Structure 1
Amino acid sequence: MLRTAISFVVPMLLAGLFWAGAAWAFEESSLSVETSTGSHQFTIEIARTPQEQGLGLMHRRELAPDFAMLFPFAQAREASFWMRDTYVSLDMVFIAEDGVVHRIERGTEPLSLRSVHSRGPVIAVLEFVAGTADRIGLEPGDTVIHPDLQRQ
């Protein structure tokens, strides 16, 4: 009897987890990144809740060159991210008050459990496909423009 219950319940739980992940819908928006090479526009998804931030870009197999994900925080804080279940190498942009780029971690290792730290308080993290920061000439001190990054 127990074996029958387990063989029924486990597949149902796995199906529920798959469906929940597949049905996840992030808020969409756009933002611009201002560098010495000009203004660069990105279509973004916003990970606002702890659940959304925990999922992030996990399980994605490819990203468009003009796509990014923004992780805004309610208050400036030290941030730490990893690449668990993330198949695409990313550039992680740690953003301080008023959208100023604090630090960039270029070319993160897919599927790595190594923590990547902001090394100071930030109000958001922006992730896009690895190589994007170099392609647009992004450096610390540049500006990311989005309503979630403008603090009163």
Structure 2
Amino acid sequence: MIKATRRFAMAGLVMLALAGCAAKAPVGPNGEPLQKLAVVTTSGEHQFWVEIADEEPERQRGLMFRPPLEADRGMLFQWPGEAPREQSFWMRNTPSSLDILYIDPQGRIVSIASHATPFSEAPIPSNGGANGVLELRAGRAAEINAKPGDKVLHPYFKP
């Protein structure tokens, strides 16, 4: 009986340990769970955790007043229900440089603005129709070899 009790106790500890290791989505600064996103380039599939900016106040605020992003983090701007159009971003009140990837409805990268200048109010155009924009830490697009035409995988985009 003692051996069975010890065995059940050990099994319970193992289950607790495994439950603690279960992959949970990290949370953003406002406590919202981040979503998985991947960028597929010639160097492979690169995973990121992204905040979603799909309402106007979130899109307006973006990454203003925020510290630099971690290498595996980003922000995905979405315009649900809207047709792709020329987009233009700026870096007002954004203290760290970013890479800005403009994305079409099928998840193809339209253009990339690398190392956008912090605090700049100069418009950064998409140079084509986009309905998604991914902001990453400056230099990440080059590190993963992202180019126009590469694919972004996220449920928002329809292949």
CA change 1:58–1:135 in 2 (3 A) is same
Give how far 1:109 is off.
0.2
- Is 1:36 the counterpart of 2:38? The answer is no
- Alignment partners' CA distance in 2, 1:44 and 1:36: 22
1:94 correspondence with 2:98: no
**2:74 paired with 1:68:** yes
Q: TM-score, normalised by structure 1?
A: 0.81
Distance 2:38 2:62 in 1: 20
Maintained 8 Å contact 1:26/1:52: no
Gaps of 5+ in 2: 1-28
The aligned residue for residue 145 of structure 1 is 153
Superimposed CA distance per residue, residues 37-62 of structure 1 (whole angstroms, 9 cap, x where no aligned partner): 00000010000100000001011122
2:142 is aligned with what amino acid? D
The structure with the greater share of residues assigned to helix is: 1
Distance in 1 between residues matched to 2:33 and 2:57, nearest whole Å: 13
For 2:34 and 2:72, the matched residues in 1 are separated by: 13
The corresponding residue for 2:63 is 57
Structure 2 vs 1, CA of residues 109 and 38 (structure 1 numbering), >3 Å: closer, same or farther? same
Mapped partners of 2:110, 2:128: distance in 1? 8
Quote the Cα distance in structure 2 between the aligned partners of 1:127 and 1:62: 11
- Per-residue CA deviations over 1:18-72 (Å, capped at 9, x if unaligned) read xxxxx84555211000000000000100001000000010111221001010001
Q: CA RMSD in A?
A: 1.4
How many equivalent residue pairs? 129
Helix, strand or coil at the partner of 2:156: helix
Separation (CA, whole Å) in 2 of partners of 1:54 and 1:94: 16
Where do 4+ consecutive residues of structure 1 move more than 4 Å?
23-27
- TM-score scaled by length of structure 2: 0.77
Alignment of 1:9-24 (within 5 A): 24=30
Call closer, same or farther: CA 1:45–1:131 in 2, change over 3 Å: same
Give 1:97 deviation, angstroms: 2.4
> Which of 119, 137, 143 is the equivalent residue of 2:127?
119
Choose 1 or 2 for highest CA Rg.
2
Sequence identity, in percent?
40
CA distance in 2, matches of 1:141, 1:123: 15
Letter in 1 for 2:124: V
